[in-house]
Amino acid sequence: PATVPYHRSKIRMNTIGGTNWQLPGQWIEWKVNAEKEGLYQITIKGRQNITRGLYSNRKLTINGEVPFKEAENIEFNFSSTWQNFELGNEDGPFLFYLKEGENTIRMEVVLGDLAEILRTAEESVYVLNSAFRKVLMIVGSAPDRYRDYQLHKKLPDVMATLSQQSVVLKDLSERLEEYTGQRGSHNAILNRLSYQLEDMARRPRTIQNRMTQFRDNVGALGTWINNTRYQPFEIDYIIFSAPDAEIPKADASFFRRMFHEISAFIASFTEDYSSVGNVYDTDEAITVWITTGRDQAQVLKRMIDDSFVPETGIAVNLELVQANVLLPATVAGSGPDVALSVLNSEPVNYATRNAAVDLTQFPDLGDVLREFTDATLLPYRFRGGLYGLPEQQQFLMMFYRRDIMEELGVAPPNTWEDLYYIIPTIQKANMEVSVPVAVNNDPWGAMESFSTFLYQEGGQLYNGDGISSALDTEEAIEAFKKWSELYVNYKFPVIFDAQNRFRTGQMPLLLHEYWLYNSLQVFAPELRGLWEMAPLPGVVREDGTIDRSTTSGGYAVMMLEQTKNKEASWKFIKWWVSADTQVRFGREMESLLGASARHPTANIEAAKRLPWPVKDYNALAEQRKWVKGNPEVPGGYFTSRHLNNAFRKVYNEGADPRETLLDYVRTINEEIDNKRKEFGLPLRDGGK
């Protein structure tokens, strides 16, 4: 109730900043019209209620210039409630000169005195990860706790590093305490790691028993750096006034807060909390459901209201729902006109039940499809129809630590033969290489990595239009053997934390979906310039080209058959998947949530315009050429499920790959037959 304008139950866009304005270099600019030139006092109604014990720093400029030195670093301390921050110091408020007429006020996020502290901490993370890796090369990932590895004799430089970094971190803690004026939770990881390093250097025979704790503490230091770099500050309004002017109170009174709570409670009985933004009360409005998150929904609603609605005159009501609500709502006849961010398998799943609209009926479909590859469209095709359009696309890329590869004297692999050649060198140094497999009973990881081998062997998932599984062909069996041998013979780990192992250097080479790139940019800033993303290893063809085929996953948009206005729904879908809309959505999400939220759009024209570095975009574009879509067929869910089961049986029980896969193919074909019979489709034996 303290912000202006206020509403008892609606979310008002009545403040600016917060977590959307927290990274160094981000700025907000205001145009201020002064009736008279002169000296003004500036009071900001704001709050910094996220980073307890630390300041948020801003640089203030007026008409492009810093008015005086103190304005280069203005500190806003932690406050759980709204405060009036009077810009000044212990001697009194600052006075800022404004010319008559329009003035430009800019506030930019800066680190201030924290910059040097964080820079030193980043260097420590890199040095300590290097020390961890050197110890790992000797003791391995599962050291003998009773063995004396004589690390103080074999690695005297590491012992010196541990002692030196202990002193560095202790000094950082003292500098941070001096900066904040208090000793709190922000000092904890610095003190804990400093003590551990000192103790490890003093008692080197205990190091092998403390490797996990050492790795976790270094990772925690990296997380602390990321969290401390954030400088959130939220602003309600700014007051420019004479020095002696009376300033209204910032926070709401007790009685106003009590009135708000009572009003909000009463409104909760009638408020529709699934709707996002304003609701159009007209029969002509189309209903769109989104299943991602509230941040994405609010950005999309804002784009709809200021772009799509004015351009087309079509009203859109956007609702945020759980993904598992769509099916029962559709069956009950209360579903939406358009569903966003549905899984790749859903459009065909709904189409087989006559619940999704075939988009080939729209004459301008061809113009829309020019911005997508055939691979991204394949999962939504069924018996000549197209029942969805792609929103997002993810596929495997190769990530490698350039610094470690150079240390080991190996080059990043171009082919699988290259990879097999360097695996012994990497594993001899007690490091790992891996390819993702299913985690937490999700079979997609297995499907994704197996399909890479399958397509590079020239195989396919299904025969005909999905009438039966093609995993009993020689190409599929050979692909399954090569894939499972990575884990059985080469001992690739099945379950692992890709980000942490890549960061510490424990896993200097891995294949992973390219969202890992965005995470590493934020998660491991100390590795900037020390790692690369490249296309996958492949197979050399007769003409000398390297076949890097793989598959992709993602999300789609589809139109439900129950829609009463197909033309309006189609216009919305065209607008949503267009390059301009996808680029704007991607940029809005990145400005809201940071680089880790970079939108993995399936639109190839939009992908060119998103803020990828040229080298990394070229690597993605090269791999995208080799991406093949996995077709969705009735009963196809048994393919990923039993492929995962076949892998587990080979990996855990040592079963024969050929016989195991053939056994499960029979089970897959039985389910495909059952589903095709249910939907009246032709069977393998010619019946229905």
Does residue 5 have a cis peptide bond before it, meaning omega lies within 30 degrees of 0?
yes
Q: How many helices (H) and strands (E) does the chain have?
A: 24, 27
How confident is the model at residue 444, as a pLDDT?
65
Q: How far apart are CA 573 and CA 578, in angstroms?
A: 8
Residues 545, 622 contacting (CB under 8 angstroms) = no
User: What are the residues facing 3 on neighbouring strands?
Assistant: none
Beta strands 233-241; 101-110: pairing state: unpaired
What's the predicted TM-score (pTM) here? 0.86
Helices 444-456 and 474-488: angle between axes, nearest 10 degrees? 120
Residue with tokens 């990497």: 426
Fold matches, 16-111+231-259 and 275-392+555-599 = no
Closest to 2 (Cα-Cα) out of 43, 45, 44 = 45
The C-alpha angle 572, 573, 574, rounded to 5 degrees, equals 90
CB 196 within 8 A of CB 213: yes
Q: What stretches in the chain show pLDDT beneath 70?
A: 1, 6, 10-11, 272-278, 438-445, 686-688
On whether the CB atoms of residues 404 and 505 are closer than 8 A, the answer is yes
Give the whole-angstrom CA distance, residue 135 versus residue 579: 49
* Phi-psi sector, 64: left (phi>0), alpha (psi -120 to 50), beta: left
Secondary structure string (H, E, C) spanning 239-269: EEECCCCCCCCCCCCHHHHHHHHHHHHHHCC
Please name the helix (run of DSSP H) or strand (run of DSSP E) that holds residue 521, with its range, or none.
Answer: helix 515-523
Report the b/e string of 88-100 with b at 16+ CB within 10 A: beeeeebbbebee
The tokens describing 683, both together, are: 């069977």
Under DSSP, is residue 5 helix (H, G, I), strand (E, B) or coil? coil
The string of DSSP letters for 622-687 reads HHHTTEEPPPP-TTTHHHHHHHHHHHHHHHHH---HHHHHHHHHHHHHHHHHHHHHHTT---TTS-
The sign of the torsion formed by the CA atoms of 170, 173, 179, 182 equals negative
**What is the C-alpha to C-alpha distance for residues 592 and 299, in angstroms, rounded to an integer?**
9
Cβ 378 vs Cβ 631: under 8 Å: yes
Which residue is associated with the tokens 């992973």?
512
Q: What is the rounded CA–CA span in Å between residue 215 and residue 219?
A: 6
Cα(56)–Cα(2) distance, integer angstroms: 21
In the CATH hierarchy, which fold is given to the domain comprising 16-111+231-259?
Jelly Rolls (2.60.120)
Distance CA 200, CA 214 (A): 9
263 close to 257: Cβ distance less than 8 angstroms: no
Domain boundaries, the chain: 16-111+231-259, 114-229, 275-392+555-599
- Its sign, for the CA torsion 498, 501, 505, 507, is negative
**What are phi and psi for residue 42, nearest 5 degrees?**
-110, 125
Q: How far apart are CA 291 and CA 340, in angstroms?
A: 7
Contacting residues for 403 by C-beta, under 8 A, at least 6 apart: 530, 531
CA separation for the pair 359, 444 (Å, rounded)? 27
Per-residue model confidence as pLDDT tens digits over 432-443? 999 888 644 565
Given a contact cutoff of 8 angstroms between Cβ atoms, the answer to whether 437 and 648 are in contact is: no
Rounded Cα–Cα distance for residues 17 and 22 (Å): 8
Are 592 and 363 in contact by the 8 Å Cβ rule? The answer is no
CA 236 to chain centre: 29
Q: Which residues contact 33 (CB under 8 A, 6 or more apart)?
A: 101, 102, 103
Q: Cβ contacts of residue 623 below 8 Å, gap of 6+?
A: 395, 396, 397, 535, 536, 548, 550
CB 6 within 8 A of CB 200: no
Q: SS3 of 319, please?
A: strand
C-alpha span between 595 and 578 (Å, rounded): 22
Measured between alpha carbons, how far is 214 from 407 in angstroms, rounded to an integer? 22
Q: Is residue 441 a contact partner of residue 420, using CB atoms and an 8 Å limit?
A: no
Please state whether beta strands 92-93 and 96-98 pair in parallel, antiparallel, or not at all (unpaired): unpaired
Rounded Cα distance between 174 and 335, Å, is 59
Is 599 in contact with 625 (CB distance < 8 Å)? Answer: no
> Alpha carbon of 236 to those of 24, 408, 592, 634: distances in Å?
21, 55, 18, 54
Distance CA 518, CA 334 (A): 38
Report the pLDDT value the prediction gives residue 221, as an integer from 0 to 100.
93
pLDDT at 250: 80
Separation CA 548–CA 302 (nearest Å): 40
Q: Is 516 helix (H, G, I), strand (E, B) or coil?
A: helix
Whose tokens are 């019979």? That residue is 677
The CATH class of 275-392+555-599 is: alpha beta
Structure tokens at 250: 């910032």
Task: Bin 426: left if φ > 0, else alpha if -120 < ψ < 50, else beta.
Answer: alpha
How would you classify the pairing of strands 316-320 and 286-290?
parallel
Q: Classify 578 as helix, strand or coil.
A: coil
Write down the pLDDT at residue 389: 97
Residues, the chain, total?
A: 688
Strands 96-98 and 16-18, bridge-based pairing: unpaired
State residue 6's pLDDT score. Answer: 67
Q: How far apart are CA 572 and CA 312, in angstroms?
A: 9
For residues 488 and 561, what is the distance between their CA atoms, to the nearest angstrom? 47
